[in-house]
Structure 1
Amino acid sequence: MEGFKLEKREHAIKSSRVLDIVQVGLMTAIVYVATYIVHVKTFMGVMHAGDSMVFLAAMLLGRKKAALASAIGMCLFDLTNGYVNWAPFTFVIKGAMAYITAVIAYRGNYNGEKLWNNIMAFIIAGIWMIGAYFIGGAIILTFLEPEKQAFVQSLIISAKDIPTNIAQVIIGIVIAVPLLGALRKSGIKNVI
């Protein structure tokens, strides 16, 4: 009887790991596709609709899985679309963006169910992303580009993408909020 319980527990653990892998893999693909389908080149990078899926991942999968799916999905976009210098920055920035969103949305008794708290989570995570890409752009211009710039000048140049990053966050929120509401009404949150 003890052996049967142990075997059943091991099976449950393996099933849980498989489910985690499937959820992260599926959300990684969704993040990548949303970023790829709707993207526009900007001064130093790209503006896209993928942030909406980063927010959605945080709300559906929680901190760790959303961070992993967002980091991998966005990083793959950079690697496959000519933004190789950005890939390591994107991995960290988008992973942290999803993590921040989930931490705020699920703090205390909110459980990701309070609209105003979720919007606040999206905004704070968006501010992180804007600031991090601003600094990341300056680092790339200072150390990784063939025509290296002084760091102060790199900060000035990198600031040119702040308005498009703000727009990207707003677009992400505008897409994520109603989509999350629709998914909640459909009961998908209980399935995932």
Structure 2
Amino acid sequence: MQQIQKRQNKTPDLVLTQSIQKPQNKTFDLVLTAILIALVFIATFINIKLPIMAKGGLVHLGTAMLFTIAILFGPKKGAIAGAVGMGLFDIFGGWLIWAPITIVARFLQGFIVGKIAFMNGLKGTSMVMNIAAAVASVPVMLAVYYIGEVILYSNWIAPLASMPGDLLQNAIGLAIAIPLCAILKKTPYFRNM
């Protein structure tokens, strides 16, 4: 009888603890996602306009941040941070017409990087898989931008002019993100994930 009373007395505390715990995790997740979006947005403002005729000739650090976030946090956060962060940059940075294309391209790119980096329980810990993830995402990003530019320019040839800049941007992003992730993965926060 005493054991039953003890269990009954503990049950409300357990339920209360669980109900309090869940919103805190959701709140933390929401705040973390917002911070990651802001990091991509700010990193995208660190850019160089390439001297090419195509409008897509912008090299920025947003891609490095997208790669870093997808490798550290996985496909969901990588996709959301990349799409919303760079989409907001297009909206507020004077590239409004590019925003829908960017949102689709960067959502897919962030998702692919995170999905491959987290494949088979790796959680972004394999440098080889992280590099493969970033490289595998580039053709998808290029394809989305190419199709988007074809629609914008009504021309199949003009969009090819922005591809070297897009490739350069991804190469710089990869060169920054991979060593940065290797360092950050050694911190207590990511070791305990």
TM-score norm. by structure 2 comes to 0.87
Query: Closer, same or farther in 2 for the Cα pair 1:136/1:116, shift >3 Å?
Result: same
- 1:187 CA displacement: 3.2
8 Å CA contact 2:67, 2:177 repeated in 1: yes
Deviation track 1:98-129 (CA, whole Å, cap 9, x = no partner) reads 11001111112433211111101000112211
Change (3 A) 1:109 1:6: closer
Question: What SS is found at the alignment partner of 1:82?
Answer: coil
Contact 2:80 2:107 in 1 (8 A): yes
Q: 2:152 maps to what in 1? A: 140
Question: Conserved in 1, the CA contact under 8 Å of 2:184 and 2:190?
Answer: yes
> How many positions carry a matched residue from both structures?
181
CA distance in 2, matches of 1:35, 1:187: 28
Which sits farther off after the overlay, 182-191 or 42-51?
182-191
Deviation of 1:2 after TM superposition, in Å, equals 3.0
Residue 187 of structure 1 corresponds to: 188
* 1:11 counterpart residue number: 20
Q: Which runs of 5+ in 2 are unaligned?
A: 1-9
Moved over 4 A (4+): none
Partner of 1:170: 171
Q: CA RMSD in A?
A: 1.6
What is the SS of the residue equivalent to 2:120?
Answer: coil
- Give aligned-pair identity as a percent: 30
Query: Residue type matched to 1:39 in 2?
Result: I
Q: How does 1:9-158 map to 2 (within 5 A)?
A: 9-41=18-50, 43-45=54-56, 46-142=58-154, 154-158=155-159
Q: Secondary structure at the match of 2:49?
A: strand
Kindly indicate whether the alpha-carbon contact (under 8 Å) linking 1:39 and 1:49 is maintained by their aligned counterparts in 2. Answer: no
Unpaired segments ≥5 residues, structure 1: 143-153
Question: Shift of the alpha carbon at 1:88?
Answer: 1.2
CA offset at residue 158 of structure 1?
A: 0.7
TM-score of the pair, normalised by structure 1: 0.88
